[in-house]
Amino acid sequence: MDIILGLQNYGFDIHCLRGNHEETLLESYWQYLEAPDKEYQQLKNEIELREWDDLFEDDFSLKYNHFLTNLPYYFELEDFYLVHAGFNLNSENPFADKYAMVSSRKMNFQGDLWQGKRIVFGHTITSLDAIQNAIAQKSALIPLDNGCYIGLSKTNENQREQYAHLCALNLNTWELFKQSCIDG
């Protein structure tokens, strides 16, 4: 977050989205403010900290709480919607279903485009072949989560070509950038 905030302060046009981990961190922080002595096992299980209380130091509320609280659930561009997890396209108002935008694992959509736009999303681990195929076809749904966080230690030899990459898509050129996981 420090790097992103620093780049934004230097005038770089960086847009971030709210996802399930940001949501969990915010919920835990708000719970912490209500009862600082309570343990937050869910968040503790997701991140390992030597000093749990260091996470919620005074500058958290000043520096990070504002940033995280103001993260949008989706970002709209001329030809794309960008969202962390997905939209509940069966809802009367998919933009109101915040849970789907941060935690959905599947979008049901068979059309060419949704509201005239493609949806770029993550959160659901997708093989590199499937990601590349969606990009080559310029599909209505473009997945980008290749499971980078699972790391090399949790993938076998057969999976390493297909998983554990950090992926980014240049929306102007449709060029996929991928970086193999470098952490164990």
- 3 state SS of 9: helix
Q: Could you give the residue ranges of the DSSP H alpha helices within 60-164? A: 66-69, 98-103, 128-136
Q: Which residues contact 98 (CB under 8 A, 6 or more apart)?
A: 73
pLDDT digits (tens, 9 = 90+) for 92-134: 999 999 999 999 988 777 778 899 999 999 999 999 999 999 9
Q: Cα–chain-centroid distance for residue 59?
A: 24
Domain spans, the chain: 2-69, 75-180
Specify the pLDDT at position 94: 94
Q: Which residues contact 79 (CB under 8 A, 6 or more apart)?
A: 117, 118, 171
Specify the pLDDT at position 119: 97
Specify the pLDDT at position 64: 84
Instruction: Count other C-beta atoms under 10 Å from residue 111's C-beta.
Output: 9
Look at residues 109, 66, 65 and name the one whose alpha carbon lies nearest to residue 87: 109
Specify the pLDDT at position 53: 55
